[in-house]
Structure 1
């Protein structure tokens, strides 16, 4: 009998995961192929063909040519992202399954009486912002041009997390939230703005500072709201006059917001923060790359990490709002 119950639980769990993944993936179908130019129509008949070990001069790609199997590469990137979100959602958001129709709710924004004090709204903005910033270079590495990579990153991020909201609307534990949907769009637009304006990107960052809260049962930077701070960072190195100063160029100032107690059973607290931190990208460039920024693939990767995640090289002044 216990064996039958175990099989039933596995069956229900897999049904939830399949439904979530199907909803997420359907939102991406147009993004991978219909909105952008790709290689010719017999893509999927050639997808698993043997690739020659060497490419002759006659078949070598020229500048402006479309790489082979580009649609497949894009589909794999989008599908992998959708699958990861579906797996996480199935284990953390949709454990109780779906049913009862589509429900919506007005969650509010940053009020003390909201479910998470607004930290969840900044979380929605951040995850879409980070999606655009991370997926754009990934799509470029797959062979897309710059404009198509940015468009793919934008619509992939928005598509996946809009699909999450729709799935929430059918779930037992959650409902579709217009505020979450607006936050998703806001974060994605900010990501596009900084991707398309290098000067602004050199001046400003949007980061998360996560340090696991004592009451959290596990390391969960996406759902442990009481341990998150969301920071808008201004970098001295982005301003020409300050960049020339051999001391000030290494510093950043940050304005942030965080909450406590909403998801851990403690007293509810909403706080703003002012911070002073070190610019790790500039330190790395000066110490290891002769002062050059974004010089190698490894450096570009670490720069993007430092742009998105606040490491513990910062001091805060906190002001309570409650």
Structure 2
């Protein structure tokens, strides 16, 4: 990885002379600048390589390797993991597409290169899963990856904007029962960030729709969105709530009924808030991956309805 950065540094002065015309660093050009294409290609390779190395350390370390194999995980985790795959492919593709605007490549090339990057990155992860004894190559995950990328690419091609965005929210779940506390620490980790990324019980994935984009003759504020969310609770294992602990004791928590949750809530599209400051625009792009805390209506698979004064 260090060699790649060194090569990029050495090449930068020469690549600069390849540009068709001089433009400021922050300008989005209307023609292709080859030096920027090379730079973005290098940055993409370096970033993906570093990301996969970090993932290998954080996720696969401690699990034995195996021969490549397939695994059907569609019935697991109330499909919350599939929602995560859709979101990740969409999120990676979205910001890669934004990054490739800087290259000046033709619009459709930017969309396809950026949009497919999320699917490509997730596919590499899926291959790594295929060599792990704990998991396996999942066609369900691959399908979810394709959905996330397709949602991004199709909107860019048809509307040249993201009228329907995927967003994420999470809150730490508490497990006061000592047996559950120990089990969930093993499954989801003990730190705040581990819990945020791994504990599906505290996650919600949202489809956030911009109203003004669909009804531009209306009086809706340009930034107003309506979001539909999906979550699940009471999941102590992929398929059920029974397990054998490290002492060989069988644990049965089947009395915790695994439920699906559906949400409806107002939201904000930060990219529709006008600003001339480029730094603020970047911040707004990042904030747009998160669903803002707001009053939320919940309906779960048990038929119960609940109004949250503020939900994240």
Give the TM-score taking structure 1 as reference length. 0.68
What is the Cα deviation at residue 141 of structure 1?
2.3
Report the equivalent of 2:167.
Answer: 207
Question: CA 1:320–1:156 in 2, change beyond 3 Å: closer, same or farther?
Answer: same
| Structure 1: unaligned runs, 5 residues or longer | 1-17, 19-43, 109-113, 290-294
Measure the CA separation in 2 of the matches of 1:243 and 1:279: 17
Structure 2 SS opposite 1:174: coil
What is the Cα deviation at residue 131 of structure 1?
1.0
Does residue 1:48 correspond to 2:21, yes or no? no
Structure 1 SS opposite 2:134: coil
Does residue 1:98 correspond to 2:65, yes or no? yes
What is the Cα deviation at residue 257 of structure 1?
1.3
Structure 2 SS opposite 1:317: strand
What is the Cα deviation at residue 127 of structure 1?
0.3
Cα displacement string for residues 59-91 of structure 1 (whole angstroms, at most 9, x for unaligned residues) = 737963533263343122233123213312431
What is the Cα deviation at residue 174 of structure 1?
0.9
Cα displacement string for residues 36-72 of structure 1 (whole angstroms, at most 9, x for unaligned residues) = xxxxxxxx988605739x98x9973796353326334
Question: CA 1:312–1:93 in 2, change beyond 3 Å: closer, same or farther?
Answer: farther
Structure 1 SS opposite 2:173: coil
Structure 2 SS opposite 1:51: helix
Report the equivalent of 1:25.
Answer: none
Question: CA 1:74–1:49 in 2, change beyond 3 Å: closer, same or farther?
Answer: closer
Does residue 1:162 correspond to 2:143, yes or no? no
Measure the CA separation in 1 of the matches of 2:63 and 2:174: 26
Question: CA 1:45–1:236 in 2, change beyond 3 Å: closer, same or farther?
Answer: closer
| Equivalent residue for 1:116, pick from 72, 77, 94 | 77
Count of residue pairs the alignment pairs up:
261
Does residue 1:172 correspond to 2:122, yes or no? no
Report the equivalent of 1:227.
Answer: 202
* Structure holding more strand per residue: 2
What is the Cα deviation at residue 170 of structure 1?
0.7
Question: CA 1:205–1:60 in 2, change beyond 3 Å: closer, same or farther?
Answer: closer
Report the equivalent of 1:276.
Answer: 265
| Structure 2: unaligned runs, 5 residues or longer | 24-28, 176-187, 242-252, 304-312
Report the equivalent of 1:255.
Answer: 228
Report the equivalent of 2:37.
Answer: 70
**For 1:6-155, what aligned pairs fall within 5 Å after superposition?**
48-49=10-11, 51=13, 60=22, 64-68=31-35, 70-99=37-66, 101-108=67-74, 114-155=75-116
8 Å contact kept, 2:209–2:226: yes
8 Å contact kept, 2:268–2:292: no
Measure the CA separation in 1 of the matches of 2:51 and 2:135: 19
What is the Cα deviation at residue 191 of structure 1?
1.2
Does residue 1:319 correspond to 2:300, yes or no? yes
Structure 2 SS opposite 1:197: helix
| Equivalent residue for 1:239, pick from 180, 191, 214 | 214
Give the TM-score taking structure 2 as reference length. 0.70
Cα displacement string for residues 217-264 of structure 1 (whole angstroms, at most 9, x for unaligned residues) = 222333221111111122323233574246xx6643322211123247
